Structure 1
Amino acid sequence: MPITTEFVISSPLLPLVSIPQTLEPNEIECVHGLCLERESRIYTVKFDPDDDVSEADLEALDEVVETTHLGQANGEVVFQLTVELHDRISEAFAPEQVDAAQIEPTTITSEGWHETKVFRTFEGFADFQQRCQEYDIGFELFSVSPESGADSDDSEYGLTDRQQEALTLALARGYYESPRQVSTEELAEELGISQPATSDLLRRAERQLLTTALGSDAHLNTLSR
């Protein structure tokens, strides 16, 4: 089942964070572009004309290999930048490793990248989060939800959309870590339901996953006799 996620990743090695760190704008809007090679990407970046960012300013950045001024669109100045990625970033986010699609422009600040992505499966999202951890890239999740229009019958584990949402949020927030990083009360607040309802939702979802993994209810009942 596809899931939509909103999050911030943070690292001084992320491409283009040097722009709000060293130039006038506090944040910029960026659209991912062509992947030339594993270590090189093209990005389309938009600036407010009042920011007074020039082509020379961008070319002076160490990571920028080539700059093209594309003109103005919707009152914004648009540049196309060819950027050389740091080795750690190119390894962490190699195209073959990330099973997701960008659905909104990325907002880049000196703190990091604010992104909204759709992951084809929960496993793809979990793998992305794990890779961030492995490569020392900060990850802060704001929201996660099943993709609108997705049919709960599409879940290979038989989970409802709400169960999938609760489990995804719990895993992302560290509920299943030892020690736990979040309480059911905190999860309940994010889900907008009571603490008992959250506990029941997780318990039913966990049972459904175990039932799918270990066999049918009838088979499990036979084993328990």
Structure 2
Amino acid sequence: MAITTEFVLSSPALPLVSITERLQPNEIECVHALCLQSDVRMFIVQIDPDDDVAEAELAALDEIDETTVLGETSEKAVYKLVVDVDESISAAFDPERFDGAPIKPTTITPEGWHERKVFTDFEAFTEFRTSCENHGISFDLLSMTPDPSQSENLSQDELTDRQREALTIAVSRGYYEDPRQVTAEELAEELGISQPSLSSLLRRGERQLISSSLGSQVQLNTITR
């Protein structure tokens, strides 16, 4: 089942963060093909004209090899940049390892990359997250949404919103992996609840998911035994 994710990546090696660190704009928008093909070096960047970023200033940045002004839209100045991409970034985004694609331009700030991507399934997302972390890229998941076409089936699990939130965060943080990538204490702190409350919330959510998956037969067997 496809999932849509929103997250922030942080690493000194991420391309074009230097524009927001050294020049005027607090953020820029960028379209790239990382995750879609190997050895990507071309980035289409949109910058607010009010930020007064000159072509020469972009070309002077160490990581940028070529700068071409493509023109202006009603709101943005558009540049084509050929960038010297760090090997760790190319390896982390290697499209041979997972199926995922951006669904909105990347927003780049001094803190890193804010991205929205769709993945073919949760396993593909997990592989991408692991790949980033293995190559020194901090990964902060903001949201995860299932394919809307599956919403009717998903609603049948009868999870509460809080149970779904807790289970989603637990899975995304690696709580159910072996070995666990996060502790119950850390999850509880992230959700703003006590550890016993977290354990109860996960346990009730897990039971509901199991009951929904197995159907009424499990309930009948429980009653008759």
TM-score by length of 1: 0.76
Deviating more after overlay: 7-16 vs 96-105? 96-105
Question: Aligned partners of 2:87 and 2:211: how far apart in 1?
Answer: 41
1:81-160 alignment to 2 at 5 Å? 81-150=81-150
Moved over 4 A (4+): 33-37, 151-154, 158-166, 184-189, 194-198
Deviation of 1:36 after TM superposition, in Å, equals 11
Q: State the partner residue of 2:18.
A: 18
> Is structure 2 residue 186 aligned with structure 1 residue 182?
yes
Q: State the partner residue of 2:208.
A: 204
Residue type of the partner of 1:128? F
2:36, 2:100 within 8 Å by CA — same for their partners in 1?
A: no
Question: Aligned partners of 2:102 and 2:185: how far apart in 1?
Answer: 28
Closer, same or farther in 2 for the Cα pair 1:170/1:49, shift >3 Å?
Answer: same
Deviation of 1:128 after TM superposition, in Å, equals 1.0
Question: Aligned partners of 2:122 and 2:149: how far apart in 1?
Answer: 16
Question: Aligned partners of 1:93 and 1:34: how far apart in 2?
Answer: 6
SS at match of 1:96: coil
Unaligned runs of 5+ in 2: none
Q: Percent sequence identity over matched residues?
A: 48
SS at match of 2:169: helix
Q: State the partner residue of 1:79.
A: 79
Question: Aligned partners of 2:103 and 2:36: how far apart in 1?
Answer: 21
Greater share of strand residues, 1 or 2?
1
Deviating more after overlay: 194-203 vs 40-49? 194-203
Residue type of the partner of 1:124? A
Q: State the partner residue of 2:173.
A: 173
Closer, same or farther in 2 for the Cα pair 1:119/1:187, shift >3 Å?
Answer: farther
Closer, same or farther in 2 for the Cα pair 1:11/1:159, shift >3 Å?
Answer: farther
The alignment yields a C-alpha RMSD, in angstroms, of 3.3
Deviation of 1:38 after TM superposition, in Å, equals 3.3
Q: State the partner residue of 1:50.
A: 50
Closer, same or farther in 2 for the Cα pair 1:98/1:74, shift >3 Å?
Answer: farther
Deviation of 1:166 after TM superposition, in Å, equals 5.3
Closer, same or farther in 2 for the Cα pair 1:136/1:208, shift >3 Å?
Answer: farther
Q: State the partner residue of 1:38.
A: 38
Unaligned runs of 5+ in 1: none
Q: State the partner residue of 1:66.
A: 66
Question: Aligned partners of 2:141 and 2:23: how far apart in 1?
Answer: 27
Closer, same or farther in 2 for the Cα pair 1:202/1:137, shift >3 Å?
Answer: same
Deviation of 1:7 after TM superposition, in Å, equals 0.5
1:46, 1:78 within 8 Å by CA — same for their partners in 2?
A: yes
